[in-house]
């Protein structure tokens, strides 16, 4: 456990040094969040019928998206990319810790600090300036935190999978990118899942990706409560576990392949 | 008229200081501390056209800062410099058209393209008239023996081959001054000799003014008559190699190859510096005993296979100067 | 000027030959951009599917906006890619080499990486645009065609300017600001929708400061023959792509300022 914690704290310290980038990123996100809200507001005002989500809820949802944007499996940390590319990944095999969990905690570390550092100020600013609502209740807030943790695991499992697929160079690279795009799109970061066409809802309900954003957000809004909430979090954890197992299996294949080919 | 005149050049950098630890990192977010680094603290010299000058000093001494200022990349904090009648950083484009720069570790050629295409692109960039370009290029290809390499992508060249191509590339526009920064670093012995030979030829035959910064003392010994030694932003010495040697010591060395490993040499007026199997190095002062006397003395008393006389290595001379001057 | 074009032409040749050596990754990149931009239009499509219209605009009309801005952006991405990769150039010290050549730095940076065939986004933008104007049966007159081309070129200039700005930041901070990418991608997303849905301050920002609306909304109004609830005149709509070019010129001035700063502080 300790080596993994050490990794997280070292990365956090490194990330704290990038002050200009942090401020710039924060400002830009406020700006684009504002734009997104304007777009959706205009849509709501144009459409007449009642929608699966209210405008107020949608606005909060959009700000949550900005706040937790760094939770998305955008990309694998660049260091890892370089490492796999130039073959020094072979050194990773000599480390005493289990390789999968070592990579997992790296991805986790790369995600946790920036996400939380960005989320706090953004939610505060959005709440004060832009009409973002607080959680529906204390229960909702608690469930949101739980859902966030599960989402973190899920997202990390996906990025770890992406990292592992890099062992297959060109094909892996393409697959990783594809996975990343699909995950982002179907997580609710572009459009709240419920606002997607009605016919797509059953499919989206089964896929793992909504667990990254949509699930914790609806917990926050209180629209996902009681037994449904528990179900949703179970869904997150189930998929996370599945992806972890898949990742471990593929990594084992990849390692054998590398060892056989001599890196 | 001097090709390069430098007067009291000063360059100071402000560097942000980072505090260690997590708490340090957090406080750095709020307030940054800064400190000043004096890269150059008043450097003056002048170089005449056609000179081949060695510019040496330890890492961080201010060598690359000087070269950057003279090539027009960097603006000094104080002092003045004139290269070929221009202030380098004030007339960048006119200035760089007259100089060539080669960095030992970085190539300026396009990685994926054949050498000849890089050359063509440079012709376009430097606006060299086509006939002049062809003549110059053919000449350089001939001198540097590049004919077989022209169609090879740069990434497939060996380090030695790349260095020769970089040298040619830097001269395609017929600059009057050439700055060489560590040109022989990482090269094998043959390639080093080739590069040195080329530089010598260009300097002697074409009157190219060359400023060479290097750590390799063999480069200096084989190429430069004049050496400028810089340390901690100040010039310690500006003169010939001989002058430099004499400043420090008159000591000379004698290397002896023994015929028999068991032999032990003992000579008065000479000191054994080190011994490695059959090889032995003596140090002596020619003012106390001449080389001829020492040779006669040793060869009459001991069985030796070979011997030769050499100067104290430049590295030691230079190190001695640093210690003397900066202490 | 002729020397500049000639050199840029030379750079294009170099980059094409260079890229042809890496065909696999070229295809991969095309696929990736095709998918990303495809998904962006899926978003627009789903929202129109649910809500029916947006501030009086139909999906087809939004498609015209979408098409124009994506084509502009695709062109800019291709031309100004060197600025995108500038952070690496600074970090590896390659920029010093550019300063050692008797040419403008902006030109050299622009020439260092050219990817003229950003087919993914370009194709997708063209297809959506074609669909939109087809459905709407737009009456193409010569002025409208000229305006369309001007808007695309002005848009390319504008996005290039944004990339130049983004690169200029590298002179001050060594951190690679991936977050700055949202400036360009976010800009695309914003102007895919009619300007009229935004508040006054935002509209002014996108008209006068980062004049994205002048290369999308206003020209498209003229092309579609729509009246503008914001009250812009036809003359303004026709002249507006100019702002894109002016923006680029301003950005290049900021770039020069950045280069001067680099001159005095080194790397």
Of A9, A12, A17, the CB nearest to B28: A17
DSSP string, C101-146: SSS-HHHHHHHHS-----HHHHHHHHHHHHHHHHHHT----HHHHH
* Predicted pLDDT at B173: 95
| Sheet of strand B226-231: strand arrangement | B99-103, B177-181, B209-213, B52-56, B226-231, B234-240
* Predicted pLDDT at A50: 80
Q: Which fold has domain B4-98+176-246?
A: Rossmann fold (3.40.50)
Q: Best residue in C197, C210, C213, C217 to probe A by mutation, most A CBs within 10 Å? A: C197
- Counting DSSP H helices and E strands in chain C, the numbers are 14, 0
Of B103, B112, B127, the CB nearest to C3: B127
Structure tokens at A55: 């405008």
| Residue in C closest to B111 by C-alpha | C18
| Partner B, chain A 10-49, Cβ-Cβ below 8 Å | 12-13, 16-17, 19, 22
Lowest mean pLDDT among A80-89, A115-124, A239-248, C120-129: A80-89
Q: Which residue has the higher pLDDT, B264 or B89?
A: B89
Task: Express each pLDDT in C29-65 by its tens digit.
Answer: 777 778 877 888 889 999 999 998 998 899 999 999 9
Spell out the residues 6+ positions from residue C157 whose beta carbon is closer than 8 angstroms to its own. C76, C244, C245, C247, C248
Position B19 confidence tier, pLDDT thresholds 50, 70, 90 = low
* Predicted pLDDT at A171: 64
Of C43, C173, C177, the CB nearest to A191: C43
Q: Best residue in B23, B26, B29, B31 to probe A by mutation, most A CBs within 10 Å? A: B29
* Predicted pLDDT at B275: 84
For range A82-94, the mean pLDDT: 68
| Contacts of the segment B197-203: beta carbons below 8 A, 24+ positions apart | B198/B143, B198/B144, B198/B164, B198/B167, B199/B52, B199/B167, B199/B223, B200/B52, B201/B143, B202/B143, B202/B171, B202/B178, B203/B50, B203/B52
- Across the interface, whether the CB atoms of B124 and C17 are under 8 A apart is answered no
* Predicted pLDDT at B31: 64
For range B240-247, the mean pLDDT: 79
Task: Express each pLDDT in B158-212 by its tens digit.
Answer: 988 999 999 999 999 999 999 999 898 888 888 889 999 999 999 999 899 999 9
* Predicted pLDDT at B111: 87
Place of tokens 């001599």: A262
Average pLDDT taken over every residue of chain A: 83
Percentage above 90 pLDDT, chain B: 46
Q: Best residue in B92, B95, B96 to probe C by mutation, most C CBs within 10 Å? A: B92
| Residue in B closest to A10 by C-alpha | B22
Domains identified in chain A, total number:
1
Q: Which fold has domain B250-311?
A: Alpha-Beta Plaits (3.30.70)
In eight-state DSSP terms, residue C239 is H
Q: Does A117 touch chain B (CB under 8 A)?
A: no
- Across the interface, whether the CB atoms of B110 and C18 are under 8 A apart is answered yes
CA A67/CA A88 separation, integer angstroms: 35
CA B288/CA B250 separation, integer angstroms: 10
First to last CA, chain B: 36
Place of tokens 């923006």: C247
Task: Express each pLDDT in B83-137 by its tens digit.
Answer: 999 999 999 999 999 999 999 888 999 988 899 999 999 999 999 999 999 999 9
Q: How far is A37 from chain C (nearest CA, A)?
A: 10
ipTM exceeding 0.90?
Answer: no
CA B308/CA B257 separation, integer angstroms: 9
Q: Tally A–C CB contacts below 8 A.
A: 94
CB C17 within 8 A of CB C115: no
Task: Express each pLDDT in A92-131 by its tens digit.
Answer: 766 666 788 888 888 888 888 888 888 888 999 999 888 8
CB C8 within 8 A of CB C1: no
CB B177 within 8 A of CB B209: yes
Q: Which of A140, A14, A138, A120 is nearest to A67 (CA)?
A: A120
* Predicted pLDDT at A85: 64
Position B215 confidence tier, pLDDT thresholds 50, 70, 90 = confident
Q: Does B305 touch chain A (CB under 8 A)?
A: no
Region label for A118, one of left (φ > 0), alpha (ψ between -120 and 50) or beta (otherwise): alpha
Q: Does C266 touch chain B (CB under 8 A)?
A: yes
* Predicted pLDDT at B270: 84
| Residue in C closest to B103 by C-alpha | C97
CB C216 within 8 A of CB C68: yes
Rg (CA), chain B: 24
Percentage above 70 pLDDT, chain A: 82
In three-state secondary structure terms, B23 is helix
Q: Which of B220, B170, B217, B180 is nearest to B63 (CA)?
A: B180
CB A119 within 8 A of CB A144: no
* Predicted pLDDT at C156: 95
- Across the interface, whether the CB atoms of C52 and A20 are under 8 A apart is answered no
Chains in contact with B, where contact means 3 or more Cβ–Cβ distances below 8 Å, are A, C
* Predicted pLDDT at C38: 83
* Predicted pLDDT at A207: 92
Q: Would the pLDDT of A68 be above 50?
A: yes
- Across the interface, whether the CB atoms of A35 and C25 are under 8 A apart is answered no
- Across the interface, whether the CB atoms of B21 and A13 are under 8 A apart is answered yes
Range of the domain at A147: 2-261
Position B29 confidence tier, pLDDT thresholds 50, 70, 90 = low
Lowest mean pLDDT among A247-251, B302-306, C16-20: C16-20
Q: Best residue in A21, A30, A69, A74 to probe C by mutation, most C CBs within 10 Å? A: A21
* Predicted pLDDT at A263: 45
Task: Express each pLDDT in A151-191 by its tens digit.
Answer: 999 999 999 888 888 777 666 677 788 888 889 899 999 89
- Across the interface, whether the CB atoms of A46 and C39 are under 8 A apart is answered no
Q: Does B14 touch chain A (CB under 8 A)?
A: no
- Across the interface, whether the CB atoms of C32 and A51 are under 8 A apart is answered no
A-chain CB neighbours of C198 within 8 Å are: 35, 38
Q: Does C29 touch chain A (CB under 8 A)?
A: no
| Residue in A closest to B28 by C-alpha | A17
Q: Does B18 touch chain A (CB under 8 A)?
A: yes
Task: Express each pLDDT in C112-145 by its tens digit.
Answer: 887 766 678 888 899 999 999 999 998 899 999 9
CB C32 within 8 A of CB C26: no
* Predicted pLDDT at B21: 61
CA B85/CA B5 separation, integer angstroms: 9
Q: Would the pLDDT of C152 be above 90?
A: yes
């Amino acid at each position: 456990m300790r080596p993994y914690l050490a990794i997280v704290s070292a990365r956090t310290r490194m990330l704290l040094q990038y002050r200009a980038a942090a401020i710039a990123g924060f400002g830009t996100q406020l700006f684009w969040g504002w734009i997104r809200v304007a777009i959706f507001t205009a849509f709501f005002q144009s459409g007449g019928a009642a929608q699966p989500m209210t405008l107020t809820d949608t606005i909060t949802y959009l700000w949550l998206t900005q706040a937790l944007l760094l939770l998305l499996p955008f990309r694998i940390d660049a260091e890892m990319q370089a490492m796999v590319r130039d073959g020094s990944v072979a050194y990773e095999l000599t480390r005493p810790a289990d390789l999968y969990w070592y990579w997992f905690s790296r991805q986790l570390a790369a995600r946790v600090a920036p996400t939380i550092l960005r989320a706090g100020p953004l939610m505060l600013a959005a709440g004060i300036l832009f009409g973002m609502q607080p959680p529906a209740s204390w229960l909702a807030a608690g469930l949101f935190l739980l859902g966030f943790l599960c989402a973190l695991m899920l997202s990390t499992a996906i990025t770890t999978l992406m990292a592992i697929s890099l062992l297959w160079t060109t094909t892996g690279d393409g697959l990783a990118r594809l996975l990343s795009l699909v995950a982002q799109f179907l997580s609710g970061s572009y459009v709240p899942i419920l606002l997607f066409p009605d016919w797509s809802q059953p499919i989206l309900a089964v896929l793992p990706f909504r667990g990254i954003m949509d699930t914790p957000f609806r917990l926050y809004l209180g629209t996902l409560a009681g037994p449904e909430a528990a179900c949703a979090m179970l869904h997150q954890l189930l998929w996370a576990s599945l992806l972890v197992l898949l990742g471990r299996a593929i990594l084992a294949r990849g390692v054998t392949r590398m060892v056989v080919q001599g890196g | 008229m001097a090709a390069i005149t430098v007067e009291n050049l000063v360059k100071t950098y402000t560097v942000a200081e980072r505090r260690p630890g997590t708490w340090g990192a957090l406080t750095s977010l709020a307030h940054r501390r800064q400190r000043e680094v004096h890269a150059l603290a008043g450097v003056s010299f002048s170089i005449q056209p056609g000179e081949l000058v060695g510019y040496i000093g330890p890492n961080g001494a201010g060598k690359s800062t000087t070269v950057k200022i003279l090539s027009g990349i960097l603006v000094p904090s104080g002092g003045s410099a004139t290269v070929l009648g221009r202030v380098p950083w004030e007339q960048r484009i006119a200035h760089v058209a007259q100089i060539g720069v080669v960095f030992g570790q970085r190539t300026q050629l396009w990685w994926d393209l054949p050498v000849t295409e890089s050359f063509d692109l440079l012709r376009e960039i430097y606006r060299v008239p086509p006939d002049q370009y062809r003549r110059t290029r053919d000449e350089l290809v001939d001198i540097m023996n590049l004919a077989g390499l022209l169609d090879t992508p740069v990434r497939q060249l060996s380090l030695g081959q790349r260095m020769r191509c970089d040298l040619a590339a830097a001269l395609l526009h017929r600059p009057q001054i050439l700055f060489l920064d560590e040109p022989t670093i990482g090269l094998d012995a043959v390639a080093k000799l080739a590069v040195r030979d080329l530089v010598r030829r260009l300097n002697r035959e074409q009157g190219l003014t060359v400023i060479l910064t290097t750590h390799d003392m063999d480069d200096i010994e084989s190429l430069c008559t004049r050496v400028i030694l810089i340390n901690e932003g100040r010039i310690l010495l500006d003169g010939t190699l001989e002058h430099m040697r004499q400043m420090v010591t008159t000591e000379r060395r004698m290397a002896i190859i023994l015929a028999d490993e068991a032999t032990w040499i003992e000579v008065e007026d000479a000191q054994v510096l080190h011994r490695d199997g059959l090889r032995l190095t003596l140090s002596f002062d020619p003012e106390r005993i001449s080389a001829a006397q020492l040779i006669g003395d040793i060869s009459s008393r001991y069985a030796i296979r070979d011997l030769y006389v050499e100067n104290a290595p430049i590295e030691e001379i230079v190190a001695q100067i640093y210690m003397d001057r900066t202490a | 000027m002729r020397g500049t074009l000639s050199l840029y032409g030379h750079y294009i040749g170099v980059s094409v030959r260079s890229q042809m050596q890496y065909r696999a990754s070229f295809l991969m990149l095309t696929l990736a951009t095709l998918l990303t931009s495809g998904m962006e239009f899926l978003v627009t499509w789903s929202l129109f599917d649910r809500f029916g219209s947006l501030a009086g605009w139909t999906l087809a009309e939004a498609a015209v906006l979408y098409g124009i801005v994506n084509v502009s952006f695709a062109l800019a991405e291709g031309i100004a890619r060197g600025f995108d990769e500038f952070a690496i150039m600074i970090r590896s010290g390659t920029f010093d080499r550019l300063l050692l050549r008797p040419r403008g730095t902006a030109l050299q940076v622009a020439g260092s990486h050219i990817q003229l065939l950003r087919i993914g986004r370009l194709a997708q933008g063209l297809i959506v645009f074609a669909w939109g104007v087809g459905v709407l049966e737009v009456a193409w007159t010569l002025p409208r065609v000229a305006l369309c081309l001007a808007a695309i070129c002005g848009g390319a200039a504008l996005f290039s300017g944004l990339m130049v700005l983004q690169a200029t930041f590298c002179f001050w901070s060594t951190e690679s600001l991936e977050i700055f990418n949202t400036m360009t991608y976010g800009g695309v997303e914003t102007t895919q929708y009619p300007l009229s849905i935004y508040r006054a301050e935002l509209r002014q920002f996108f008209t006068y400061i980062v004049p994205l609306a002048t290369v999308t909304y206003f020209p498209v109004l003229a092309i579609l023959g729509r009246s503008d609830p914001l009250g812009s005149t036809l003359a303004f709509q026709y002249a507006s792509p100019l702002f894109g070019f002016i923006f680029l010129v301003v950005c290049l001035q900021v770039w020069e300022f950045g280069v001067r700063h680099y001159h005095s502080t080194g790397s």
